[in-house]
Amino acid sequence: MSTTRKIAINTGGGDAPGLNAVIRAAALSAINRGWEAYGIHRAYAGLLGEDEIVPLTRDAVRGITHLGGTILGTTTHGNPFAWPVKQPDGTTRRVDRSDELMAAFQRHGFDALIAIGGDGSLRIANELSQKGMPIVGVPKTIDNDIEGTQLTFGFLTAVYVATDAIDRLHSTAQAHERVMIVEVMGRDTGWIALFSGVAGTADVILIPEIPYRIERVCEKVMERERMGRHFTIMVAAEGAYPVGGEPVYEDREKRRLGGICEVLAQQISETTGKETRALALRHLQRGGSPISYDRLIALRFGAAAVECVAKGELGCMVALDPPDVRAIPLAEAVSRQKRVPVDGDVVATARALGMSFGD
- Candidate segments 95-103, 171-179, 184-192, 324-332, binder of ligand F6P by CB under 6 A: 184-192
CA distance 174 to 160: 22
CA distance 4 to 122: 22
The residue (of 148 and 186) whose beta carbon lies closer to ligand F6P is: 186
Residue 141 is a binding residue for ligand F6P (CB under 6 A): yes
CA distance 25 to 108: 22
Q: Which of 184, 189, 228, 220 is nearest to 204 (CA)?
A: 220
Residue 156 is a binding residue for ligand F6P (CB under 6 A): no
The residue (of 144 and 269) whose beta carbon lies closer to ligand F6P is: 144
- Candidate segments 179-187, 202-210, 302-310, 349-357, binder of ligand F6P by CB under 6 A: 179-187
Burial code (b: 16+ CB inside 10 Å, e: under 16) for 189-202 equals bbbbbbbbbbbbeb
User: Which residue of 274, 286, 295, 300 would you call a contact of ligand F6P, by CB under 6 A?
Assistant: 286
Residues facing residue 180 across a β-bridge: 233, 277
CA distance 210 to 116: 30
Q: Which of 15, 51, 143, 145 is catalytic?
A: 143
Residue 73 is a binding residue for ligand F6P (CB under 6 A): no
**Cis bond leading into 84, ω under 30°?**
no
User: What are the CA-CA distances from residue 208 to residues 62, 213, 240, 245 (Å)?
Assistant: 40, 12, 4, 11
Residue 174 is a binding residue for ligand F6P (CB under 6 A): no
User: Which residue of 78, 118, 137, 148 would you call a contact of ligand F6P, by CB under 6 A?
Assistant: 118
> In whole angstroms, how close is the CB of 189 to ligand F6P at the nearest point?
9
> In whole angstroms, how close is the CB of 206 to ligand F6P at the nearest point?
15
The residue (of 203 and 238) whose beta carbon lies closer to ligand F6P is: 238
HSE at residue 185, side-chain half, CA atoms within 13 A, is 23
CA distance 38 to 351: 49
The residue (of 36 and 183) whose beta carbon lies closer to ligand F6P is: 183
Q: Which of 299, 55, 16 is nearest to 158 (CA)?
A: 16
Residue 142 is a binding residue for ligand F6P (CB under 6 A): yes
Q: How many residues bind ligand F6P (CB under 6 A)?
A: 13
Residue 235 is a binding residue for ligand F6P (CB under 6 A): no
Residue 187 is a binding residue for ligand F6P (CB under 6 A): yes
Residue 18 is a binding residue for ligand F6P (CB under 6 A): no
CA distance 20 to 144: 18
User: What are the CA-CA distances from residue 55 to residues 98, 117, 207, 254 (Å)?
Assistant: 23, 20, 43, 35
- Candidate segments 36-44, 130-138, 181-189, 227-235, binder of ligand F6P by CB under 6 A: 181-189
- Candidate segments 100-108, 169-177, 183-191, 343-351, binder of ligand F6P by CB under 6 A: 183-191
> In whole angstroms, how close is the CB of 183 to ligand F6P at the nearest point?
11
Which DSSP state fits 188?
T
The residue (of 216 and 282) whose beta carbon lies closer to ligand F6P is: 282
In degrees rounded to 5, what are phi and psi of residue 29?
Answer: -60, -40
The residue (of 143 and 209) whose beta carbon lies closer to ligand F6P is: 143
CA distance 96 to 79: 9
Determine whether 203 is an active site residue: no
Task: Enumerate the active-site residues.
Answer: 143
Residue ranges in contact with ligand F6P by CB under 6 A: 14, 76, 118, 141-143, 185-187, 238, 256-257, 286
